[in-house]
Structure 1
């Protein structure tokens, strides 16, 4: 313990305070220290103690991770995240976490690893349970479900591929860090001898390998065309890495592995258009305003949302968000959660969730403050989108995307600005799906939860035509 690096972080501490418009007295009160002590810390006259560093990490987790910390501080942060799981009734104090990380580092590391194994095992059991409940008695997922689950269990982040895509983007960008469609075409021409042709087609993208010609449907929006270019750049430049990742993935079928290659290429295309660290810093600066980020990086609203959900690089994480895409029928066609909220894989999502309303109201951002049955509160943003088909004879695709975070990160999430987060009555009481929601008093319930027995009375009737009691 005597060899721990003394941490001076005055400039960063002052920036955290100023970004939130706090006076020194207000910041000192949050940290439970005196104003004079805070002033000394901000002027680097005194180093941060381990206990104070943990308190800062707890209060300002996104800001704090950008400060270089030693192994003990990193372990303390990992412990705090693991012990924040709702399965633990009482939170540990910052001092207790620091003592555990300092005095029992081996045990602390094993505990963090064990909790990660528990979390993954729980998710896998939920997936199997969902499959059985969806009349898939074998419990074997379909190929596209396998791929979706693979990304989910990978935290929607593929480190090697993301870093390679980031370097690839930097090699094609100008001095200001801008990546143009012309630069993507030049890369394909000079590095891979591929000519790009834009023409009207029913195919979004077609590649003639013999002629070295890439044909892209000109009827797509500009953001779609850029994505198709980035996709082919990723496949041609990072194809070997993509193939290796898919080969070593534990998937049950060849079809799933081929689908994973496509998913990885899509992932790499997004990482090329929105390079990790550049995009993460922009997201912080813009407070995760998706419209603004889409404008800055010339991507679609959905692409920017999806990229925000993949910012899971160790020691450089983005805002922990959940992301999903829901179609007109309520099917969740994309999903990822870096929060405690998990999604039902089969069946309808909670009808009280704002995303369903967003599907019917395209191009308008809707915001919701909600609480799940475990007591965790979230800020949701949802937007209905219409993907044009390019012709009257083909129906456009309509769906909605949703993005959200837990309320402790609300200051980082611009969509929380219009919500009164201190009101107990303002939070909508939502669940994951009716099948597993324990709320028996919900007026919107479609069917009873799987662990409840229904009781029907011919003469009494509530909002739903039965009462419920838990099966022991």
Structure 2
């Protein structure tokens, strides 16, 4: 007995609309899906129906945009079942795709259960990361610190705040000034609409105040040693605080954070977010990012912003219906502490403590003004293209040390064609990726020479007669 012939699905209009909305060429979309350009052209013209394999490929490449397109076999369920069965962190060989295809067709509840169990397993790993975070900060069972609570809120929101982003973009469009002249436009708007006078101040007695606003006198003092892009950001922050005051207050109140300190920190963070959205308006910044293949230096010059500001803005491009590439972004200080973090990818950072020492972001801190690129692979088998650059912010005074840190930006390897920093990397080589983890306490790798301590919940074996780089093994 043979299986019934699946229905023919023509979804060319949807595929073309998705491609245009994401700003992809036919070549870029075809490469991401894994088909030829001519085949994609035929699909978009509805000259050929979409097979289950192609539907599954679209579901894998664009899960948020293709989730409701189904064949009789349910291609999306098949894609998720294959992902679950192939998880490299689960022992034993993965199931063959043909076996999974038969399961989806003949035992769909079994396939759904497999996907659900895998999702539960992934959630348990997230919970383990949370426990590791709590252990690291020494606050088991306690409330998070205000700073951590605000960072977690931004992460839960996808690092995108729609109401604030759109209002800041509208103000930028209203001013209409090119990036190189935006500071003058902001100064004029602060003066004419809000009665704010800007004074460039010198640091006094080793003080590190970059911006100071006196509501009574309407005077805004900004340190004169700051580079132009930092000055523009700080005065844009002040403008957003004044013009988006009601929106920022509403968002901060709705967040329902635990403490007054966290609420205040969130308000400051939202004003910073608004300043970035104002200086790098969503639609124009996203279009330019795609045109330059996310070249940070090109974006920095086009919008008159700093390298870090451009990286951070790329991590916020998650507007529904017009999302950018899912990036992870972080900032790491000289001690290896992650002081900024967000990930729209499957890679999640340790919230406290440092990052994996095999990640080249640590090397970048020590080598300022040089871009380093790296192909990394996490224990779940996912590969990422990672870019990092060490930065130095001068203090403007001998009495204050310069601030040194590195920023890192990366995406999953299936987006590499749209990320210029992947061009010199061997993306498919078996040994070309550096194996990294999130934290030693939850990293399952048993052959890492950089391991600081064994993973939690694993028994330790010590052999007095044999010594490797790490003085123990674990079961």
Q: Answer whether TM exceeds 0.5 for this pair.
A: yes
Task: Give CA deviations for 1:88-108 in whole Å, capped at 9, x if unaligned.
Answer: 857999xx9xx99xxxxxxx9
Match of 1:146 among 135, 141, 149: 149
TM superposition shift of 1:271: 0.5
Map of 1:104 onto structure 2: none
Map of 2:162 onto structure 1: 159
Match of 1:136 among 139, 142, 145: 139
Map of 2:202 onto structure 1: 200
**1:405-424 maps to which residues of 2 (within 5 A)?**
405-424=411-430
Q: Does 1:209 align with 2:215?
A: yes
TM superposition shift of 1:120: 8.2
Q: Secondary structure at the match of 1:370?
A: strand
Mapped contact 2:59–2:76 kept (Cα < 8 A): no
Match of 1:253 among 259, 269, 273: 259
Q: CA 1:81–1:366 in 2, change beyond 3 Å: closer, same or farther?
A: farther
Aligned residues: 446
Q: Distance in 2 between matches of 1:172 and 1:11?
A: 31
Map of 1:262 onto structure 2: 268
Match of 1:313 among 288, 310, 319: 319
Q: Distance in 2 between matches of 1:77 and 1:230?
A: 47
Q: Distance in 1 between matches of 2:54 and 2:242?
A: 45
Task: Give CA deviations for 1:240-284 in whole Å, capped at 9, x if unaligned.
Answer: 111111112131111111111111111111011111111111111
Q: Distance in 1 between matches of 2:18 and 2:390?
A: 38
Q: Does 1:386 align with 2:382?
A: no
Map of 2:233 onto structure 1: 227
Q: Distance in 2 between matches of 1:135 and 1:355?
A: 25
Mapped contact 1:83–1:91 kept (Cα < 8 A): no
Q: Distance in 2 between matches of 1:115 and 1:322?
A: 23
Q: Does 1:190 align with 2:192?
A: yes
Q: CA 1:130–1:188 in 2, change beyond 3 Å: closer, same or farther?
A: same
TM superposition shift of 1:127: 2.9
**Ranges in structure 1 where 5+ consecutive residues have no aligned partner:** 101-107
Q: CA 1:350–1:307 in 2, change beyond 3 Å: closer, same or farther?
A: same
Task: Give CA deviations for 1:403-459 in whole Å, capped at 9, x if unaligned.
Answer: 001101100110000001121111111111211111111111111111222122322
Mapped contact 2:60–2:79 kept (Cα < 8 A): no
Q: Does 1:240 align with 2:243?
A: no
Q: Distance in 2 between matches of 1:77 and 1:277?
A: 32
Q: Distance in 1 between matches of 2:47 and 2:429?
A: 39
- What's the TM-score, normalizing by structure 1? 0.82
TM superposition shift of 1:139: 3.1
Q: Secondary structure at the match of 2:200?
A: strand
Mapped contact 1:8–1:48 kept (Cα < 8 A): no
TM superposition shift of 1:138: 3.1
Map of 2:459 onto structure 1: 453
TM superposition shift of 1:133: 4.2
Q: Secondary structure at the match of 2:388?
A: strand
TM superposition shift of 1:344: 0.8
Task: Give CA deviations for 1:163-207 in whole Å, capped at 9, x if unaligned.
Answer: 111111111123x68761111111112221212222323421111
Q: Secondary structure at the match of 1:31?
A: coil
Mapped contact 1:188–1:195 kept (Cα < 8 A): yes
Q: Does 1:127 align with 2:130?
A: yes
Match of 1:296 among 287, 302, 318: 302
Mapped contact 1:57–1:77 kept (Cα < 8 A): no
Q: CA 1:292–1:465 in 2, change beyond 3 Å: closer, same or farther?
A: same
Mapped contact 2:26–2:40 kept (Cα < 8 A): no
Map of 1:330 onto structure 2: 336
**Ranges in structure 2 where 5+ consecutive residues have no aligned partner:** 1-6, 88-94, 106-111
Match of 2:361 among 355, 358, 368: 355
TM superposition shift of 1:61: 4.3
Map of 1:274 onto structure 2: 280
Q: CA 1:17–1:222 in 2, change beyond 3 Å: closer, same or farther?
A: closer
Match of 1:404 among 400, 410, 427: 410
- What's the TM-score, normalizing by structure 2? 0.81
* Larger RCO of the pair (alpha carbons < 8 Å, separation 6+): 2
Q: Secondary structure at the match of 1:7?
A: helix
Map of 1:105 onto structure 2: none
Q: Distance in 1 between matches of 2:160 and 2:119?
A: 16
